[in-house]
Amino acid sequence: MGIFSAPQRMGAAAALLAVSALCSRLMGLVRDKVISWQFGAGTEADMYFAAFVVPDCINYLLAGGFMSITIMPLLATRFQEDEADAWRFFSCVFCWMFTASVLLSLLGMVFARDLARLAAPGFTTGQHARLAFFMRLVLPAQVFFLSGACFTALLYLRRQFRVPALTPLIYNICIIAFGVSAPWWGAVLGDAAQGMTGYCVGVTVGAALGAFLLPWRVAAQGGLRLYPVWRHRLMGRFLLVALPLMLGQTIVMLDEQFLRVFGSLAGEGVVSLLNYARRIAQVPVGLVGQAAAAASYPFLVSLLAQGDEDLFNRTLQKALSSGLGLIVPCALCLAACAWPVLAVIFQGGRFGETETLSTLPLTRIMLASTPFWVVYMVLVRGYYACGDTLTPAVVGTVMTLVCLPVYYYWAAPAGAAYIAVLSGLSVTLYALWLAWIWARRRGSSAFAGVAALALRALICSSPAAAAAWLASRCCMEQLPLPSIAAACLSLVVGSAAFGLIFVPCSRLLAPTLLGPFFDWLGKRKDG
């Protein structure tokens, strides 16, 4: 068992990934702050965000975001049986992933003008031409993301979480660096370097450095063996697991793309406003859900391989409970203080108070569904650990097909708020559907006490959120200070009001929510 027990190792991994997610989200917000300052919520920003629709769909099509999920169970078993053959299997997956990503990216670049019209049907002809140019700059990044995902999966299998934790940081730093330095390129490249061109170049450079070169280097130092292999007997099983993820375009994977595609039909600047709101709403999801899901998955796979179903269910239940117990107060506090948060992060330059107030309701609407994002992110790992990629793919694809006409005929004509409502509602229904299927097939032990803990967290958080909302709103409206100073002070006051009510309430009604934190403080004090 080594020095740490499985839960302790999972806790350490979750802590590391949570810190990484926090740094990544903060860096992403810095990136968006720079973009909003320079371009606000206008046409150029709309085109930049829409440029990711096709590249992201290529990533989904090749299941790049799920590479660790699809390959890890097979690779772990093969390494235990025959290490040499495991490397041949790994090489075969890498060769096909690299080839497919290159071919699809090239096709996307060739047909960029046609794809631009599909990605943003509400744009004009001139905007489609500019969008196609952005897409050609961003598309090569998928080669590095998809190929690098193979190395990242290997690092996860080795329980080497540090390098994958650095990937998003390097990626965002490159985007900011190239975007900010773009004016200096103008002397050499002329008009081609204007606008958001630098940010698009930074996407590809950041993917090359953070998602490909760094994981490859660390994997190589650990004894990576890569061969030109194109056939392996396990490829059939790998495709059987991966194909549902490739063909099943679920509502969760396409959520951000739907905001961009249908936002383009709702008017100028709507794509940007929805994107900024989603960035804020996804912060607690990234901090809580992503860390819990990514850290728990290797242990879930290992426990099933050992045949320990009881500990598997307890581990899944713990991940769900801790995730929901943290996301509920985080989401409510963020919703209560959303006005000063948006003012601090985005307001300034070309992003004025009007844009801030327009983004405010969209942010709160999206925050309402964040607990169900966490349920999805953790529970879907349970499905994948069991080797079931088909159920989430089929259910998610059905939800997508149901929502498409609703987006087009109802949400887009009605405006940005309705697009945000449908986004949250679709993810909520998807997560609940997956939970219902899991309970029917495998019992409800993984959900024991989860709903009760989430309800207690909601009861503790609601009065705290009301106090935070009132305090932050009064500060924003009454303080005779410059906008950024008033926003900072309002955020501090609102957060303090939330904490002063939530902490004693949680210790009384839900001691397990903050219990580990107070235990840690007690040990530090005794030490």
- 3-class secondary structure per residue, 8-46: HHHHHHHHHHHHHHHHHHHHHHHHHHHHHHHHCCCHHHH
CA 407 to chain centroid = 22
Cα–Cα distance, 201 to 247 (Å, whole number): 29
Cα–Cα distance, 300 to 311 (Å, whole number): 9
Q: Directed axis angle between helix 162-180 and helix 182-189, to 10°? A: 60
Q: How much is the pLDDT for 12?
A: 53
Q: How much is the pLDDT for 415?
A: 92
Cα–Cα distance, 365 to 415 (Å, whole number): 13
DSSP summary character for residue 227: -
Rg (CA), the chain: 23
The residues facing 351 across adjacent strands are 348
Element (H, E) at 368: none
Q: Is 28 exposed, middle or buried (0-12, 13-18, 19+ CB in 10 A)?
A: buried
Residue burial 402-411, b: 16+ Cβ < 10 Å; e: rest: ebeeebeeeb
Nearest to 195 by CA among 370, 31, 48: 48
Sign of CA dihedral 365, 367, 370, 373: positive
Distances (CA, A) of 121 to 113, 254, 259, 260: 12, 16, 12, 10
Cα–Cα distance, 151 to 266 (Å, whole number): 40
Nearest to 167 by CA among 181, 184, 180, 148: 148
Yes or no: say if 291 and 18 are a contact pair by the CB < 8 Å rule.
yes
Cα–Cα distance, 226 to 489 (Å, whole number): 54
CA 366 to chain centroid = 14
Q: What DSSP string runs through 120-159?
A: -TTS-HHHHHHHHHHHHHHTTHHHHHHHHHHHHHHHHHTT
Residue type, position 28, single letter: G
Cα–Cα distance, 450 to 429 (Å, whole number): 18
Yes or no: say if 512 and 523 are a contact pair by the CB < 8 Å rule.
no
- The structure tokens listed for 134 are 């952005």
Cα–Cα distance, 442 to 269 (Å, whole number): 46
- The structure tokens listed for 192 are 């081609």
Cα–Cα distance, 498 to 328 (Å, whole number): 13
Yes or no: say if 166 and 213 are a contact pair by the CB < 8 Å rule.
no
Q: How much is the pLDDT for 316?
A: 86
Yes or no: say if 317 and 449 are a contact pair by the CB < 8 Å rule.
yes
Contacts of 163 (CB under 8 A, 6+ apart): 152, 155, 214, 215, 218
- How open is the CA angle 116-282-324, to the nearest 5 degrees? 140
The residues facing 348 across adjacent strands are 351
Contacts of 252 (CB under 8 A, 6+ apart): 373, 376, 396, 427, 430
pLDDT in tens, the chain (527 residues): 333 344 445 455 555 555 666 677 677 778 888 888 888 877 888 888 888 888 888 877 776 556 666 776 777 777 777 778 888 888 888 898 899 899 999 999 999 999 999 888 888 888 899 899 999 999 999 999 888 888 888 887 777 767 777 788 888 889 988 888 876 665 455 555 577 888 899 999 999 998 888 888 888 887 888 788 888 888 887 777 777 666 655 677 788 889 988 998 988 889 899 989 998 998 888 777 766 676 676 677 777 767 778 888 888 888 888 888 889 999 999 999 999 999 888 888 788 888 899 999 999 999 999 999 999 988 988 888 887 878 888 898 889 889 999 999 999 999 999 999 999 999 999 999 999 999 999 888 889 888 888 899 999 999 999 999 999 999 888 877 567 888 889 999 999 999 999 988 888 887 777 665 555 445 544 55
